[in-house]
Amino acid sequence: MNQQTIFDYTIHLADNALVIAQRNSEWCGHGPVLEQDIALTNISLDLLGQARSLYQYAASIRNKMNGNDQATEDTLAYLRDAREFRNCLLMELPNGDWGQTILRQFFFSVYQYNLYQYLQRSSDNTLSAIAEKSLKEVTYHQRWSSEWVIRLGDGTEESHRRMQNAVHELWMFTGELTTPAGYELEAARENIGVDPASLKAAWSQTIAEVFQEATLDVPATGWMQTGGKEGRHTEHLGYILAEMQFLQRTYPDSKW
Amino acid sequence: MTPETDISVQQTWSLLEAVTDPEVPVLSVLDLGIVRDVQVKGREAHIVITPTYSGCPAMDVISMNIRLQLLQHGFEKVIISQVLSPAWTTDWMSEAGKEKLKAYGIAPPNPTQQVCHTKLFADNEAVQCPHCNSWNTRRISEFGSTACKALYQCNDCREPFDYFKCH
């Protein structure tokens, strides 16, 4: 197996988790009610933990390829530029209102839930262990975000309108989740990773079920934005990195 | 224990009994069930731990405290490594640990894995109030002050309390 492929695949999973964790954590102290502010912050923490495990593994692969020990979880998170990030565009979008943040988490949690179920059976022992561990956490995330999509969608006139607006804002970014990049196909061929196209039916079915209960319309499938998995991002990622990486860029190797 | 005698694996486990969770200080790392293996070679200890939750910030402090405890009690080298699989479950928590949690005011985890489903708006788990022992309680939030806890309130004595959720 090509080590570069495992590295790219692992980095993609890590970047998804890190970027959405960073976005969600912007709500810390700003949530509409205390309990749900804490819930979203807890979810961020779980995702950050998953990202750490994945970056640690990616760093070990890179070091093996380069024959040194220069890469760490921190250099991967803090010292790469936007073009090197492999997260889906959905993760980096601004939070919008609370409903839009919940909806993005819902789209992602349903995807992660399906992905990790298969990744548990990866022939790569580290990835399968991370998937097994993360799946328990993601089960909570999926349930929590589904219930909130339903509460808000089938709530007041205003919450319904806002949720339906959020669906229209985010829908064109959902296709990328299940559109495979080259390294995903290669990883799937070697039984290291999962071809995300194979998750599409299960993902769509859960979305349709929850939307029906939430009285939200599933948009007709139109043009889907892609590019994030190959490093072509929206303008928003640069701003996230500017904030997240500032300290390490300005004061290299500073410690907490 | 004098530095001249070798430390047994059994003694090492006993030393770990004194290392507690910084966020729930009544629980030792053994009560939590996060120490998965202990190996001793002369003055060198190799400890394998597993995290409760992927992002649990207590894990770094726990590792440091394990290291300090062993270095203070005769070890010269302590290697701590982490495993993720099999994934930690609250079923590994000791019965003594569950008693200590309850006495501390935190409802201990229920034994069965009732959380691992995606069914929506399911009935809350029956959780016993650690203060008045009533089962008439309700969940306020699935996520509490730390990743491992949910927030509940007792409908009888009205006290809010943390529930160490089963995982």
DSSP string, A16-62: HHHHHHHHHHTTTTT-SSHHHHHHHHHHHHHHHHHHHHHHHHHHHHH
In a domain, A32, yes or no: yes
Chain B interface, mutation test: which of A25, A35, A136, most B Cβ atoms within 10 Å? A136
Query: A46 and B84: CB-CB below 8 Å?
Result: no
CB A244 within 8 A of CB A22: yes
Its CATH architecture, for the domain B9-82, is 2-Layer Sandwich (3.30)
CB B57 within 8 A of CB B70: no
User: What count of residues does chain B have?
Assistant: 167
Which residue of chain A comes nearest to B151, CA vs CA? Answer: A35
Which of A137, A144, A213 is facing B54, going by the closest CB pair?
A137
Segment B50-55 mean pLDDT: 92
Per-residue pLDDT, B167? 84
CB B54 within 8 A of CB B90: no
The model's confidence at residue B111, banded by pLDDT at 50, 70 and 90, is: confident
Which of A45, A46, A133 is facing B84, going by the closest CB pair?
A133
pLDDT tops 90 at residue B120? no
Question: Is A199 part of the contact surface with chain B (CB cutoff 8 Å)?
Answer: no
**At residue B62, what is the residue type?**
I
Per-residue pLDDT, B4? 58
Average pLDDT value over all residues in chain B: 90
Query: A132 and B86: CB-CB below 8 Å?
Result: yes
Which of A43, A49, A136 is facing B56, going by the closest CB pair?
A49
In a domain, A29, yes or no: yes
Per-residue pLDDT, B124? 67
pLDDT tops 60 at residue B115? no
pLDDT tops 90 at residue B63? yes
Q: Spell out the residues 6+ positions from residue A102 whose beta carbon is closer than 8 angstroms to its own.
A: A145, A148, A149, A152
Number of structural domains in chain A? 1
Q: Which chain B residues touch A46 with a CB distance below 8 Å? A: 53-55, 147
How would you list the strands of the sheet with B106-107, edge to edge?
B106-107, B160-164, B149-154, B137-141
The more confidently predicted of residues B112 and A127 is: A127
In a domain, A19, yes or no: yes
Residue A223 to chain B, least CA–CA distance (Å): 30
Residue B40 to chain A, least CA–CA distance (Å): 25
Q: Which chain A residues touch B145 with a CB distance below 8 Å? A: 38
Q: Is the torsion defined by CA of A225, A231, A235, A241 positive or negative?
A: positive
Query: A38 and B143: CB-CB below 8 Å?
Result: yes
Residue A220 to chain B, least CA–CA distance (Å): 26
Strands of chain A (E only): list them. Answer: none
CB A162 within 8 A of CB A101: no
Segment B152-165 mean pLDDT: 94
Q: Spell out the residues 6+ positions from residue B51 whose beta carbon is closer than 8 angstroms to its own.
A: A49, A133, B34, B59, B82, B84, B88
What region, left, alpha or beta, does residue A67 occupy, with left being phi > 0 and alpha being psi -120 to 50 degrees? left
Segment B21-37 mean pLDDT: 94
Which residue of chain B comes nearest to A113, CA vs CA? Answer: B118
DSSP tag of B156: T
Packing angle, helices A34-66 and A3-25, rounded to 10: 160
Domain range holding A151? Answer: 3-250
CB B23 within 8 A of CB B146: yes
Which residue of chain B comes nearest to A136, CA vs CA? Answer: B116
Q: Spell out the residues 6+ positions from residue B131 whose beta carbon is closer than 8 angstroms to its own.
A: B105, B154, B157, B159, B161
Name the one residue in this structure whose structure tokens are 């939200």.
Answer: A216
Q: What is the pLDDT of residues B64-106, one digit of tens each?
A: 999 999 999 999 999 999 999 999 999 999 999 999 999 999 9
Which of B55, B140, B142 is facing A45, going by the closest CB pair?
B55
The model's confidence at residue B33, banded by pLDDT at 50, 70 and 90, is: very high
Residue A186 to chain B, least CA–CA distance (Å): 25
| Residue ranges per structural domain of chain B | 9-82, 95-164
Per-residue pLDDT of chain A (256 residues; tens, 9 = 90+): 789 999 999 999 999 999 999 999 999 999 999 999 999 999 999 999 999 999 999 999 999 999 999 999 999 999 999 999 999 999 999 999 999 999 999 999 999 999 999 999 999 999 999 999 999 999 999 999 999 999 999 999 999 999 999 999 999 999 999 999 999 999 999 999 999 999 999 999 999 999 999 999 999 888 999 999 999 999 999 999 999 999 999 999 888 7
Residue A224 to chain B, least CA–CA distance (Å): 28
Query: A210 and B140: CB-CB below 8 Å?
Result: no
Residue B56 to chain A, least CA–CA distance (Å): 7
In a domain, A123, yes or no: yes
In a domain, A255, yes or no: no
The more confidently predicted of residues B142 and A188 is: A188
Q: Is the torsion defined by CA of A74, B148, B79, B3 positive or negative?
A: positive
The model's confidence at residue B153, banded by pLDDT at 50, 70 and 90, is: very high
Alpha-carbon distance A163 to A146, whole Å?
12
The model's confidence at residue B116, banded by pLDDT at 50, 70 and 90, is: low
Residues of chain A numbered 53-92 and touching chain B (CB < 8 Å)? 53
Average pLDDT value over all residues in chain A: 96
Tokens of A237: 């990622």
Alpha-carbon distance A254 to B122, whole Å?
47
Per-residue pLDDT, B50? 96
In a domain, A239, yes or no: yes
Which residue of chain B comes nearest to A37, CA vs CA? Answer: B143
Which of A45, A128, A147 is facing B147, going by the closest CB pair?
A45
CATH number at residue A216: 1.20.1260.10
Alpha-carbon distance A224 to A203, whole Å?
16
Per-residue pLDDT, A221? 80
Tokens of A57: 């593994």
Query: B55 and A139: CB-CB below 8 Å?
Result: no
